[in-house]
A and B are shown apart, each in its own frame.
Chain A
Amino acid sequence: MMRGDYARVTAADRPGVAQPVPLRPVPAQPWGRILLGAVLILALLVAGWEEYWRAYGAKPAFANSFGLWAMQRRRIDHGEGDATVVISDSRLFFDLQLPVWEKLDGKRPIQLGLEGTTALVFLEDLAADPKFTGRLLVGVAPQVFFGGHRYRAGALKYFKKESPSQRIGQWLSMRLVEPWLAFYNSDYALDTVLKRQPWPARPGKTWSMAVRRLSVTEADRNTYMWDKVETDPDYRALMREIWLHDLAPSDDDPPPAKQQENAMQQIERAVKAVHTLQARGVKVLFVRSPSTGPYLEYDEWYFPRKTSWDVLLARSGAPGIHFQDYPQLQGLEQPEWSHLSHAAAEQYTASLYQIIERDFWGPAALATRGAPQSAH
């Protein structure tokens, strides 16, 4: 290699000497006009992209980011430790509507649910946090809870290590970006859009498609089903197709015995955390929100109630609400089998609240049940 091959001399070509002040030539171009043109073209492209997604049905919403989750989690450590807190996978996260609860209770719960993520992660976190002394609703989707799925468990680490820069970024994003741009959603990110194009299948590689956008999130993480899932039959069919594919047996599935062993491990960890919380006076209530169709069949096949839900309640001593035990929690609209429609979620929240007040947390229930809590 000849040194003359290098277009510009750098420290690599000057061994053992003091390195001089670098030269940074600016290419001879009309940079003012170039910048102006680039800004105009960028504005047009972004406006077109925004218009495309609005025409698709998207509206500006808050990103369900770790930063947003951390903001809500911080409330517990900053004076709201006695609040009602919701931890859950996507079911109770989407199905429990904070405005409805607030209307009935006078206080708005803190929503810490995260899709595809077992509530156990956050149950253990709250058990280890003495500042939390409130009431806890623990959502249980059998597949996620007893299967120990941790799709977005990184939120906890993010919360614990969040830098000032990230906090400022979240604050800025919630004011400058998210309320204005409909395309600002991970489902419309460039790589996501390209990945889901109909690329030819690779021989031997099973088809898989990431779950598409299902929900709309508000500033305090109140989350509900996106109306496109409810009103667009093609989109709803796509959601169902993705679920069916996810629910189909796969070579990667653990054998049933291993699955049951794993479920028992999850239960034992939950029991330990619940006992810690109860010793601190925290009221813990498990909630099994409705599922229907193939999803319900899957839940019942892989994690039968008797060997999962019932064991969890019996071992932990905490009460629980299973939708199959309450007629008012059944028969609600579930467009893609796993989550309630927005209107159904509001109805479900009202019914759930009334059951909880009547049977578990209301004055009459407490007088009857006493403390510590006993199994339902």
Chain B
Amino acid sequence: MVFNSLTFIVFFACVLGMHSLPLPWTTKKINLLIASYLFYAAWNPPFVILLWVSTVIDWYAAQGLVKARRQGARHAWMLLSVIANLGMLGYFKYGQFLLDSFSALVAGIGVAYHPAHYDIVLPVGISFYTFATMSYTLDVYLRRAEPAKNLLDYALFVTFFPHLVAGPIMRPTELVPQFAQPRRATGQQLRFGLALMTLGLFNKIVLADSFLSDVAERVYDSDKLPGALDAWAGTLAFSGQIFCDFAGYSTTAIGAALCLGFAMPDNFRFPYAAVGFSDFWRRWHITLSSWLRDYLYIPLGGNRHGAGRTYAALMTTMLLGGLWHGANWTFVAWGGLHGLYLAVERVLRARFADYRPGPLVFVLLGILTYTLVNVTWVFFRAKTFSKAWIVLRGMVGQNAAVRPILPTFSLISVAAIVGALVLTHWLMRARTLESVVARTPAAVVCLVWAFMAFLIVIAQGSGSAFIYFQF
């Protein structure tokens, strides 16, 4: 079920009620596990089987890793986990994409190959929970973590509903230890958790769904040629939409976990105030970027084997990171662009190692970063390369015979919301939400909370899925 639904409100109230009952800790954990399976089954019950498969394979792989005496056996257990998880991901997410790409490739050399259409439903959140379970086996393999003491704790780590379908992608060392001791939210944690959930849902329902998604759709899903203003408005709207959608999910998830007494890591640190792309990736989808860094970039050699190997590892990581987001070459292009940006930045940093920008240049570099990030969003949002080129051409004013697409209200709402969003990121770039809330008068916090909740109610969200569910 999605957080922005009536079903979730009732579900969450039941879970909170159950979790506050004076029951043994093991019983409470079993309750949470059952609730998490129900949360997932509420989309498509049969796909719970996939969760079980992933859970059981990694549980036994980690057990096998601990018991293995030879390095070869350790490798084998690790590979079993990786192949099983990536195999599952490949079958459900990339099967049709690989077949289509292969057909296009052989068509290029004159061979007509038309495979049957797959028509496989993508299990929601599969990219997230397969990465979480793989991190468990890989951490045990890399001797960074001990295996979980019991299957219940491990299964709950994989399935815990706040992070299950769209992250933050948890590592076993972040969550499994929290299941060792009885946990129940304090009154303060419960209330602040509810405030965080309100903030997250406000981002999703009010900003992303009610105002920004429609603008992006009008530009990206229309067959009209956009001029510069429309192309930029549509792209800026999408930059705001995807942040509010995904950061909104993460904030709601963190709040939900906190209401139950559990801590989840930050997934965003005001990314649109990034200066440079290494900074951007330390602020955007942190749990994925650090996952890719730890389990892909570093094993590929990282920056320890010379410049050539470093750039190759960087590009490979970013291209695969792009593909993780969706089975489409446009996502690969998105990742490739980010890889290119990171590589260029690396060259420039080496070339101008002693340069320290002044305040004005610093802000200008931030604006440049945000502008270039927006160029990458074009490939992320456009369904095809031809559409991406049309929007890019529009952004540089090269589309001929254009007519206005967006009405005045759309332009105003994008300017107001995205402008406020970017400004907020700059004001908050070296702060935390908690530190700002702590310094704000209680009456203001109360008013802001009530007003956000009111806007959520009157926005009448349609319960639309979060964008990252499809990944």
Contact = CB atoms under 8 A, between A and B. Distances in A.
Given A45-B454, A172-B10, A205-B404, A197 B437 contact: no
B298 A11 contact: no
A22 B409 contact: no
A14 B446 CA distance: 36
Contacts of B459: 189-191
A189 B279 CA distance: 38
Contacts of A190: 206, 210, 455, 458-460
B429 interface: yes
B72 interface: no
Interface string A316-345: 000000000000000000000000000000
Interface stretch (A25-33, A266-274, A302-310, A368-376): A25-33
Contact of B282 (A13, A24, A45, A195): A13
B468 interface: no
Contacts of B293: 15-16
Contact of B447 (A30, A41, A199): A41
Given A8-B266, A34-B191, A41-B447, A169 B457 contact: no
B91 interface: no
A163 B446 CA distance: 36
A248 interface: no
Interface in A160-217: 163-166, 168-169, 172-173, 176-177, 183-186, 188-191, 194-195, 197, 199-205, 208
A18 B188 contact: no
Interface stretch (B37-45, B319-327, B391-399): B37-45
B291 to A, nearest CB: 8
A10 interface: yes
A26 B171 contact: no
Contacts of A24: 189, 254, 258, 263-264
Interface in A35-86: 35, 37-42, 45-46, 49
A173 B438 CA distance: 37
B438 A27 contact: yes
A169 B265 contact: no
Contact of A31 (B42, B187, B278, B283): B187
A10 B174 contact: no
Interface of A: 1, 5-8, 10-35, 37-42, 45-46, 49, 163-166, 168-169, 172-173, 176-177, 183-186, 188-191, 194-195, 197, 199-205, 208, 251
Interface of B: 1-2, 5-8, 10, 41-45, 139, 144-145, 171, 173-175, 177-178, 186-189, 191-192, 194-195, 206, 210-211, 214, 254, 258, 263-266, 269, 274-276, 278-279, 281-283, 286-287, 289-291, 293-294, 298, 403-409, 411-413, 429-432, 434-435, 437-438, 442-443, 445-447, 449-451, 453-455, 457-460, 463
